[in-house]
Structure 1
Amino acid sequence: MSEVAVSIYLVLILFFWLASGLWIGLALSLVGYLGMFLFTSRPIGDSMVMTIWGSMSSWTLTALPMFIWMGEILFRTRLSEDIFKGVAPWVEKIPGKLLHVNVVACTIFAAVSGSSAATTATIGKITIPELMKRGYPEEKIVGTLAGAGTLGFLIPPSIIMIVYGVSANVSIAKLFIAGVMPGITLAVMFMLYIALWSIFNKKRLPEGRQKYSFVDKIKSSKNLILPVLLILAVLGSIYTGVATATEAAGIGVLGSLVIAFIQGTLNWKTFSESLLSATRLYAMIALILAGSSFLSLSMGFIGLPRHLAEVISSLNLSPQGLIVVLTVFYIILGMFIDGISMVVLTISVLLPSISQAGIDLIWFGVFLVIVVELAQITPPVGFNLFVIQGLTGKDLGYIAKQSLPAFIIMCFLVLLIFVYPDIVLYLPNKMRG
């Protein structure tokens, strides 16, 4: 049987098991086992044990559960409420007014969370009722939150970046720093869209209820002190070379516990719930990574990555053409599976082609995060859409429709970072260590 036939056969089996509801990590492991059993003479048991142990014992990977725990602790604090109070007075005079709170609050919370769904849920549970109460149009509240919530993946610390960094064997610290400028750029693009929309739809926005003096704004900013200090501690320690990504994760956990203590939300119940929730989420991700590692090994023995790289090379695609093809590929894939699975299922197979095309792996990591963000607001499996549906009770199709402007803006960001790669690479190239 040819390599093409083998790969098609295994992919069909994988999708069958995924559609049956089998856990993703187990489905990946089973397909890897089946591929090695049917099409190679390699010792399966030894290969499986060594590969899974090797993928799970990475020191770099320890950053992942730590950042997840940090996000879970902060999810149970009043941080999102404080961010709303701190940001609202500053955006009252900008076209779009408090709609900008969705973007700014998500940007700040993303820098201490690492999760798109957690950012959307945490900020949404505060901003949706507040903005609805003040008379802002519901469709714009929903649309801006769906788009801005995806910043949880792009602005470091990012769970997806850690998964990619481990899978592609690139510096997680550099990936984190590489996401800063694209993340800020995307936030600014969202805010420009809100401002332009509001200029042409002034009658749909409510009048400002409260006038804030400059002194009032300064006073309100005290609510931002704790999150800003945590951001500076985590990202500053990485950028200056004082701490690795793993060590910065430890700093983040300690900082989040301090914030919870200061706010009076740290007790045994919230501590244990955050720890158990982080453990469950990491166990799910770890199982997917373990299954992916074994499947990648199996595909390597069969020869699929080499064959796929040869096929892509034979197409003589330019780097631009390859990026266009991969963008479409990931958007379609994102309609059916979650972002972490998208990364681990594809990266080992595509990496040779990416390297051969001369595409920087740090740049590609940020590109991959952006297209994973697109998947977060793409039905039928868009996790941000599910989160907002849970918060509002609205139909999934309605939420997806309101998210379309954000989808288009993120597609434009992909084009922008391709034309101007320094948006991604400038800070990593200047980074110490």
Structure 2
Amino acid sequence: MDIFWVAIGVAAFLIFFLSMGTWIFASMLAVSIASLLLLGDFQPDRIGLIFSRILYRASNSWELSAIPLFILMGELIFRSNLSERLFKGLVPLTSHLPGGILHTNVLGCTLFAAVSGSSAATTATIGKITTQELKARGYDRNLSIGSLAGAGSLGLLIPPSIVMIVYGVQAEVSISQLFMAGVIPGLLIAVLYALYIIARSVLSPHLAPKQEIPGQTIWQSLVLLSPILVLICIVIGSIYTGIATPSEAAAVGVAATLVLLSLERQLNISLLIEALKGTLITTIMVCSLLVTAMLLSTAMGYLHLPRELAAWIAGQNFSPLMLLVALAVFYIVLGLFLDGISITVMSLPITLPIVIMAGFDPIWFGIFLIIMIELGQITPPVGFNLFVLQSLTGESISRVALAAFPFFILMCIAAVIISIWPDIALWLPRYMTQ
């Protein structure tokens, strides 16, 4: 069968199952089976044999053990008062900047992202404190909500990141190098956000009124920030120094979090049970998507779809720039309807062979992809950060989306910057592995 009609058939199957309201993992499983049966003329017993091997291999991947551990770490922190301490520690450090404590959104999310791995958890944890504080102190509502929506998405880019682990497993690249590659681009986006807040506040001082903040020394601020800083050093430091793999670092991070909460006298049975429940639900969702995505990837491989599409695109002589623009539009459109993990696992079987054939580094492409996914976090109708902020603030989803739009543009600028200068993402992995 002509590869064009195979691609049309696979897309039609996927659209059909998703439009029926079927769960995404079930849709991918159904598409895999239907594609091999109807488009590849495979017998059911052969499909069962192929899928049983893939299921066993996928579910026994050591790298996947990091996912529930990092999720548990974020759940434990989310359900403690560490976010309140983080805010109180950042207020004196930011109050003298143009924009004042609006910067706690950006800095707070940047720091919390380094121990969370989740965009929604980062937004919810920082937002439950800053949204009410900034409103009570007279800061501009749109700038407050928008900066939190944009900065909360850094939970996907600044390591440890659940999406990075998923990408690393699927693309078969080093997760440690992906973690390293995300640091500088994540900080670049945070700086762009901070500069935007400063510029808006200088041009329109009423957006961030000057206020007297009760005296607090730098040392007092560092004491309040110390739990988060210690966890960052333990988790990220153990990976970058080569002491631990990402999976081992996740286990160490959970242990350190439990010890820290015990010392803070916050650890109790109720908190632990709630954290384990949240971890179980999220882990099942992530791993079911990942395993069925591997089945879909295998099915596409048997149909020769990635190879043929990659060859077709190579034959069109697209320039690398045009290919990137096309992929950016493709991922932004997907981000309107799907979450980040679903986008990653559903698209990589098609896009990864294409970008590798075009000469792009798979580590760099992982960072580019995550920035595209971050854009989807702050765009309706399925922008998770927007729904989190709607529940936190009580504002309409349209207002939250409009407030986030300037930060959507800033993230697009960051994607352009790392596309022009890819070493922004690749320098740290090369330096740390020398």
TM-score bracket, normalised by the shorter chain, equals: over 0.9
The one-letter amino acid paired with 1:187 is A
Q: Deviation of residue 211 (structure 1)?
A: 5.2
Query: Where does residue 244 of structure 2 map in the other structure?
Result: 243
Match of 2:129 among 91, 107, 126: 126
Query: Where does residue 156 of structure 2 map in the other structure?
Result: 153
CA contact (8 A) 1:161 1:172 kept: yes
Map 1:331-342 onto structure 2 (within 5 A). Answer: 331-342=332-343
Query: Where does residue 7 of structure 1 map in the other structure?
Result: 7
CA contact (8 A) 2:102 2:208 kept: no
For structure 1, the 5+ residue unaligned runs are none
CA contact (8 A) 1:139 1:402 kept: yes
Q: Deviation of residue 99 (structure 1)?
A: 0.4
CA distance in 1: counterparts of 2:246 and 2:122, whole angstroms: 20
Query: Where does residue 94 of structure 2 map in the other structure?
Result: 91
Query: Where does residue 387 of structure 1 map in the other structure?
Result: 388
Q: Deviation of residue 243 (structure 1)?
A: 0.6
Match of 1:86, SS state, is helix
Aligned length in residues = 431
Map 1:253-268 onto structure 2 (within 5 A). Answer: 253-268=254-269
The one-letter amino acid paired with 2:339 is D
The one-letter amino acid paired with 1:217 is I
CA distance in 2: counterparts of 1:237 and 1:129, whole angstroms: 36
CA contact (8 A) 1:78 1:263 kept: no
Are 1:30 and 2:30 matched, yes or no?
Answer: yes
Q: What's the TM-score, normalizing by structure 1?
A: 0.97
CA distance in 1: counterparts of 2:221 and 2:287, whole angstroms: 41
Are 1:101 and 2:101 matched, yes or no?
Answer: no
The one-letter amino acid paired with 1:427 is L
Match of 1:366, SS state, is helix
CA distance in 2: counterparts of 1:203 and 1:120, whole angstroms: 25
Query: Where does residue 208 of structure 2 map in the other structure?
Result: 205
Query: Where does residue 142 of structure 2 map in the other structure?
Result: 139
The one-letter amino acid paired with 2:385 is N
Q: Deviation of residue 207 (structure 1)?
A: 2.6
Percent sequence identity is: 46
Map 1:321-400 onto structure 2 (within 5 A). Answer: 321-400=322-401
Query: Where does residue 293 of structure 2 map in the other structure?
Result: 292
CA distance in 2: counterparts of 1:271 and 1:86, whole angstroms: 26
Are 1:20 and 2:20 matched, yes or no?
Answer: yes
CA distance in 1: counterparts of 2:310 and 2:89, whole angstroms: 50
Q: Deviation of residue 141 (structure 1)?
A: 0.8
CA distance in 2: counterparts of 1:130 and 1:276, whole angstroms: 30
The one-letter amino acid paired with 2:79 is R
CA contact (8 A) 1:77 1:263 kept: no
Q: Deviations over 1:167-220 (max 9, x none)?
A: 10000011011111111111111000000000011123223132536xx23212
CA distance in 2: counterparts of 1:8 and 1:193, whole angstroms: 43
- Which 10-residue stretch deviates more, 145-154 or 216-225? 216-225
CA contact (8 A) 1:240 1:432 kept: no
CA contact (8 A) 1:109 1:119 kept: yes
Match of 2:100, SS state, is coil
Q: What's the TM-score, normalizing by structure 2?
A: 0.97
Map 1:139-218 onto structure 2 (within 5 A). Answer: 139-210=142-213, 212=215, 216-218=217-219
CA contact (8 A) 1:241 1:432 kept: no
The one-letter amino acid paired with 2:263 is I
CA distance in 2: counterparts of 1:270 and 1:315, whole angstroms: 56
CA distance in 1: counterparts of 2:56 and 2:395, whole angstroms: 44
- Which 10-residue stretch deviates more, 371-380 or 320-329? 320-329
- Which 10-residue stretch deviates more, 279-288 or 112-121? 279-288
- Which 10-residue stretch deviates more, 294-303 or 166-175? 294-303
CA distance in 2: counterparts of 1:48 and 1:314, whole angstroms: 32
Q: Deviation of residue 2 (structure 1)?
A: 2.4
CA distance in 2: counterparts of 1:403 and 1:152, whole angstroms: 16
Q: Deviation of residue 226 (structure 1)?
A: 1.1
Q: Deviations over 1:31-81 (max 9, x none)?
A: 101111123335110111111221121111111111111111111111110
Q: Deviations over 1:109-161 (max 9, x none)?
A: 00000000000001000000111111111111100000000010010000110
Query: Where does residue 46 of structure 1 map in the other structure?
Result: 49
CA distance in 2: counterparts of 1:377 and 1:387, whole angstroms: 10
CA distance in 1: counterparts of 2:112 and 2:144, whole angstroms: 17
CA distance in 2: counterparts of 1:171 and 1:275, whole angstroms: 28
Match of 1:78 among 81, 87, 94: 81
Query: Where does residue 232 of structure 1 map in the other structure?
Result: 233
Query: Where does residue 220 of structure 1 map in the other structure?
Result: 221
Q: Deviation of residue 262 (structure 1)?
A: 2.3
CA distance in 1: counterparts of 2:323 and 2:166, whole angstroms: 22
